[in-house]
Amino acid sequence: MAGKLMHAVQYNSYGGGPAGLKSGGGLAEFCVAKGSLTVPRPPELSAVEAAGIPSGALTAHVALTQYAGVKLDGTGPQKTILVTAASGGVGTLLFNWPNSETPM
């Protein structure tokens, strides 16, 4: 989900609205989500463009940490990872995430 913030969540001035994960009601006009499960939406992305990022990011996170055993805080051993289909949403995140200087 991604869209307009209706109330309550405090973000810094970075975001263009919230984005997050919500089970059920994906075609609903409105939904309620815990603030702890949302992140600021980059202002350069529309709600439609941002809506797919949380799902892809969660899939990439699970693939790296649970299936590949990568420690994203840098404490584990270095690993070589083969990313197939790196031009898709999840593949793009997997390709860039392990080399990112910012923990995700």
Burial-class residue 15 by CB neighbours within 10 Å (0-12, 13-18, 19+): middle
What pLDDT was estimated at residue 101?
Answer: 60
Taking the model in full, what pTM does it have?
Answer: 0.58
Q: pLDDT digit string (tens) for 52-78? A: 777 888 888 888 888 888 887 878 888
Give percent helix, percent strand, percent coil of the chain, each to the nearest 5. 30, 5, 60
Q: Whole-angstrom Cα distance, residue 32 to residue 24?
A: 11
Question: Are 15 and 42 spatial neighbours (Cβ–Cβ below 8 Å)?
Answer: yes
Name the residue with higher pLDDT: 46 or 19. 46
Q: How far apart are CA 67 and CA 103, in angstroms?
A: 18
